[in-house]
Amino acid sequence: MAAVVMAAGAGRRMGGRPKALLQRDGESLLARQIGLLQAGDVRQVVVVLGHHAERLQPLVAQLAADHPVLDLRSTRNPRPDDGTGGSLRCGLAALPPALDAVVVLLADQPLLALDDLRAVLAAWCARPPGIDLVVPTHAGQPGHPLVFGPTVRAAVQGATDSGGVREWRRAHPDRVQSLALAHARCTTDLDTPDDLVRLRDELGVDLRWPDAEY
């Protein structure tokens, strides 16, 4: 099993800043996701960079040094505005071909917990025959991390447009297992400064930009 962490976006609605650098309790969100993956025993990780690759690459290198048990690397999507499907294809191309499963996380999920990752991985391991994709949901909304096997991987890598997992899921509902969760951690990501205010006011989660971002 390996993981792809999506961090290629421009963050335009967040002022054009890389959301992966936002810090919770002094730790960047990207570092937090890498730590969750290590704690969840996922040992191969590719971070997909794009618009802010020059700023995020040093962080990936530092995290690789901080987590020597991980095979942690980055890859760059040269066309990140073409959609998440293209970024995911870049990440999948950087992984070994012979994998039983791939986990996909977003770099800007500030609430994700180890229990969430473990629940999704456990659902994948216990899935019934014919299931190729496990997706966590809350209040009917799909979230991340999601897990898929070789069938979905081949479909995504073979797509010639911006299509990705979402399009495959909609076309093959009978091969998707939804894992309903009682909280919104898996569906909470960050798009605007108002999201930061809401997390602070409603949940007491204070996210801050590093000093260099001011």
The enclosing domain of 6 has a CATH number of: 3.90.550.10
> For the CA atoms of the chain, what is the radius of gyration?
16
pLDDT over threshold 80, residue 211? no
Tokens of 194: 């108002």
- The range of the structural domain enclosing residue 148 comes to 2-213
Q: For residue 4, give the nearest of 110, 80, 106, 85 by alpha carbon.
A: 106
Domain count, the chain: 1
Mean pLDDT of 76-90: 92
What's the first-to-final CA gap in the chain, in angstroms? 38
pTM: 0.95
% residues pLDDT > 70 (the chain): 99
pLDDT for the residue 214: 39
